[in-house]
Amino acid sequence: MSISTLKDSDLLSVRDLTIEFGYGDFTVRAVDNVSFDLQRNKTLAIVGESGSGKSISSLAILGLLKHLHGRITKGSMLFDSEVLGRQVDLTQLSERELRRIRGNEIAMIFQEPMTSLNPVFTIGSQMGETLALHQGLSQSAARKKALEFLELVRLPNAKRMLGNYPHQLSGGMRQRVMIAMALCCQPKILIADEPTTALDVTIQAQILHIIRDLQAEMGTSVVFISHDMGVVSEMADDVLVMKASKSVETGTVKQVLGSPTEPYTQALLAAVPRIGSMTGTTAPQLFDIPGQTQSNDTVAATAIDYSKPVLELENLTTRYDVRGGLLNRVTHRVHAAENVSLSIYPGETLALVGESGSGKSTVGKTIQQLVDPVSGAMRYHGKDIFSLPAAERKAFRKQTQYVFQDPYGSMNPRKTVGESLIEPAWVHGLVSTKQEAKDKVADLLVKVGLPAEHANRFPHQFSGGQRQRLCIARALACDPSLIIADEAVSALDVSVQAQVVNLLMKLQADQGLSYLFITHDMAVVERISHRVAVMYLGQIVEIGSRQQIFENPQHPYTKRLLSAVPVLNPGHRPTRPPLEGEIPSAMRAVGNEPNLVDLQRVEEGHFFAAQSAEEHQAVLL
């Protein structure tokens, strides 16, 4: 059937793969003449931004394209199959033959651990299904094997987990279950499609560690799909860079990441925030974007007046009640933010970092008065907000604006961009005539680097990065003094992310804005922030200037966050120990109050929770 044969060192060889969707005039080529080889016991990373065709290629290997109504129009995929006992071209196999390979010789982990497991079946039955199918195991034998693999991915209480349903597990646990499920038939190829993108950075480090370990142990070849250059640098032996459905550059990880020859790869690499790249500096710094010359002077030169804060939080505590029992009483409370004190100064960016569940978004929501705190004070230019009459509280709300994570969900799809942008200004009575509104919209669009004519367009006509610019423009509409950016750049591709972060920094320098930058991404934090507060289980465990936190971190959680960030250093494998155990939950029974941390001074402006550091040392390091 196949004319050519595989090299001995190769397990999979893809040649001129071309994939199309749609028919006739509406045909879209999602993958265009892409070729790559996957070596035995090696990792090939396919890198590219959203829409580059990297995920489609992986589904093609599994022969699952037809379910997305796509088809392979050209090319071959030679694979050395043991089950079928010969070298086969995956594009030529029958559905029945493909089914024997899928899940057995070639297994896959998907991006979204939250939706990858079927919600109505237990973990044990979902894993057992694969084992029964490919290895003909009996129920009890499958159970035993499933248990073995759950332990291999270091899930605590693996035995109990077999009877659990997916909703009872956290995202990181679910992804580990997915890995266990994918590996339980000992596949020759593991395809991992952005397996850690949706996870926290410490959990990401843990998952990557597990994949690397098991790969070495089982001799699996891995196709690793990612947009994150740091992750690729840690995982890959070979790299294929894709852009707009075409292959751009391919080679070993050292060649491609170390000395890229193509401008696109160079640009992609330049946009990657590298942690530690700003050691020794104090001020924020714009990203270098190839083809754009920009002066960092204004951003760097802005001096911040640390005498009068714009906003002060004092011992702010916000809890969510969890009800249960026969009488629906409050049995548990989520201690989302506990005793949080911080100040934001004019023209300053304070980064609030932490992982999911650390309470960082709750702090943002409390400031915006979307949730009510249990206790504590919030002062805006010295005035206590919570004791103000409603009208003045509304005026304060105008002064603090929010930019959300999801640029797709936060703009009304049925309103033109102009209408959406001007809405807050109308609500707060900042514009009174149509002409004023029109001028204001034009002015806002220009500020965020979009043409003023775009005011009459609808949100769906913009890309993700442009939409996030629009969200920023909307936040600026009320001339706020403080913008709360909640994971505002996390959903964007790196090159777009760099541009949006630069925009935020320039706007700050021009208008003296203050930012509360809520994020889990330490690399971005290093670029944009003046000061950093680290949250863990609802409390601030360390706060200081950016330089103090990055160059002299004290709390083990801060250290963990910093060390978990993948480092772009091709050929170098990280040595950090993986996170053992689970980060505890902030939900506690009523009456079981958490210990309040006591911040101790390290040096001027730098404080950390020494006691909590000792307590959590075991879990975190």
**Min dist. Cβ of residue 194 to another protein (A):** 12
Q: Which of 42, 54, 102, 440 binds another protein (CB under 8 A)?
A: 102
**Of 10 and 129, which has the nearer Cβ to another protein?**
129
**Min dist. Cβ of residue 95 to another protein (A):** 8
**Binding of another protein at residue 107 (CB under 8 A)?**
yes
Tokens 């919030």 belong to: 378
**CA 7 to chain CA mean position, Å:** 37
* Farthest CA pair distance, the chain: 81
**Of 117 and 199, which has the nearer Cβ to another protein?**
117
Q: Which of 52, 57, 91, 104 binds another protein (CB under 8 A)?
A: 104
x/- contact string, 20-59, with another protein (CB under 8 A)? Answer: ---------------------------------------x
**Binding of another protein at residue 103 (CB under 8 A)?**
yes
> Which residues, at least 6 apart from 80, have a Cβ–Cβ distance to it below 8 Å?
6, 10, 11, 12, 87, 188
**Binding of another protein at residue 116 (CB under 8 A)?**
yes
**Of 58 and 554, which has the nearer Cβ to another protein?**
58
**Of 181 and 278, which has the nearer Cβ to another protein?**
181
Task: Please give the residues from 405 up to 424 whose contact with another protein meets the rule CB under 8 A.
Answer: none
| Options 21-29, 102-110, 523-531, 550-558: segment touching another protein (CB under 8 A) | 102-110
x/- contact string, 120-139, with another protein (CB under 8 A)? Answer: xxx------xx--xx-----
**Of 102 and 319, which has the nearer Cβ to another protein?**
102
**CA separation for the pair 231, 516 (Å, rounded):** 27
- Residue 292 CB burial class (10 angstroms; 0-12, 13-18, ≥19): exposed
x/- contact string, 321-340, with another protein (CB under 8 A)? Answer: ---xxx--------------
**CA separation for the pair 577, 579 (Å, rounded):** 7
**Min dist. Cβ of residue 128 to another protein (A):** 11
Tokens 């669009």 belong to: 445
Task: Please give the residues from 176 up to 205 whose contact with another protein meets the rule CB under 8 A.
Answer: 178, 181
**Of 101 and 535, which has the nearer Cβ to another protein?**
101
- Which structure tokens are listed for 156? 């605590």
Task: Give SS3 for 462.
Answer: coil
**CA separation for the pair 526, 505 (Å, rounded):** 12
Angle between helices 263-270 and 494-511 (to 10 degrees): 50
**Of 73 and 115, which has the nearer Cβ to another protein?**
115
Size of the site for another protein (CB under 8 A): 34
Q: Which of 15, 71, 74, 100 binds another protein (CB under 8 A)?
A: 100
Q: Is 351 left (phi over 0), alpha (psi -120 to 50) or beta?
A: beta
Span between the terminal Cα atoms of the chain, in Å: 54
**CA 551 to chain CA mean position, Å:** 24
**Min dist. Cβ of residue 79 to another protein (A):** 15
Beta strands across the sheet bearing 587-589: 383-384, 375-380, 311-324, 329-344, 587-589
**Of 61 and 586, which has the nearer Cβ to another protein?**
61
Strands 106-109 and 375-380: unpaired
| Options 165-173, 198-206, 445-453, 523-531: segment touching another protein (CB under 8 A) | 165-173
Q: Which of 27, 92, 168, 461 binds another protein (CB under 8 A)?
A: 168
**Min dist. Cβ of residue 113 to another protein (A):** 9
DSSP summary character for residue 255: I
**Min dist. Cβ of residue 133 to another protein (A):** 6
193 within 8 A of 55, measured Cβ to Cβ: yes
**CA separation for the pair 427, 346 (Å, rounded):** 25
**Min dist. Cβ of residue 331 to another protein (A):** 12
Q: Annotate 584-607 with b (16+ C-beta within 10 A) or e (fewer).
A: eebebeeeeebeebebeebeeebb
18 within 8 A of 29, measured Cβ to Cβ: yes
**Min dist. Cβ of residue 338 to another protein (A):** 25
Q: Which of 6, 64, 141, 304 binds another protein (CB under 8 A)?
A: 64
Which candidate, 130, 109, 101, 89, places its Cα nearest to that of 191? 109
Reduced to 3 DSSP states, what percent helix, strand and coil does the chain have, rounded to the nearest 5? 40, 25, 35
Tokens 């902030």 belong to: 586
**Of 55 and 362, which has the nearer Cβ to another protein?**
55
Interface residues with another protein (CB under 8 A) are 59, 62, 64, 67, 99-104, 107-108, 110, 112, 115-122, 129-130, 133-134, 165, 167-168, 178, 181, 324-326
